[in-house]
Amino acid sequence: MSKRAIGIDIGGTGIKGALVDTKHGVLLSERLRYETPDGGTPKAIAKTLKDLISQLPGSSGLPVGICFPAVVQHGVTLSAANVSKEWIGLDADSMFEKELGREVHVLNDADAAGIAEVKFGAARGHKGLVIVTTLGTGIGTALMFDGKLVPNAELGHLQIDGVDYESKAAFSAKERENLSWAEWAKRLQKYFSHLEALLTPDLFIVGGGVSKEHESYLPLLKLKTPIIPAENRNSAGILGAAHWAKKRETD
């Protein structure tokens, strides 16, 4: 049986996709990027995906995994971040399957990144509770226990000091407030210490674009739990989504 699937990563500004070898976690095609349509409506995004997939060689009939900035339960998008509110309560799996004419499985974008790290990245082979965080505009989190996903862990929205703490500790806060690495690390310390107290994880993994500068801030954190950078960066969502789709197809 072919171990291939299409992975799509939908964001508020861009949509990326590629053909993926889901056994080894590598891209089999160029990673294509299209602009997210203005308004981010379901119909407009589905049309963009149709155009993108048509440009992927050898993709005929393959399942599609789509990671999306929303809480996703059984293929239904229950929220919407930086896209149209039409997504709220939408059976996204069914909508995409109708529009694309193939099997589709949608999941949360942070969850896809977590799957990518467990299957193909820094958490491969780790037992116990692994928390994968993505530091960017907000804080995305994925809970992985013994290599299996506990979906929709929105731990970036923890209330600390009376505020939704991603507003203080996301990378966007560092940029917005022009914080030094040390000043930002103090906020990360508070955030990760809070996660430790709540969940006692075995490993933290930090992803997002800023993870490539991990030497500037991770060594400043004093935690009981090991904390390491993610290995899959720009391709994490694509890899995780493709693996999710292939696994759902064969379940």
CATH of the domain at 158: 3.30.420.40
Q: How many domains does the structure of the chain reveal?
A: 2
* CA-based end-to-end distance of the chain: 13
Q: Which of 153, 151, 148, 154 is nearest to 119 (CA)?
A: 148
DSSP 208: S
- Of the pLDDT bands very low, low, confident and very high (cuts 50, 70, 90), residue 71 is very high
Evaluate whether 35 touches 16 at the Cβ level (below 8 Å): no
Residue 94 lies in a domain: yes
* pLDDT digit string, tens, across residues 168-223: 999 999 999 999 999 999 999 999 999 999 999 999 999 988 999 999 999 999 99
Residue type, 30: E
DSSP 200: -
How far apart (Å, rounded) are the C-alpha atoms in residues 119 and 164? Answer: 30
DSSP 38: T
* pLDDT digit string, tens, across residues 10-42: 988 899 999 999 999 999 999 999 999 999 999
Place of tokens 């990245």: 121
Residue type, 241: A
Q: Is the pLDDT of residue 251 over 70?
A: no
In a shared domain, residues 13 and 50: yes
In a shared domain, residues 130 and 189: yes
Q: What is the pTM of this model?
A: 0.93
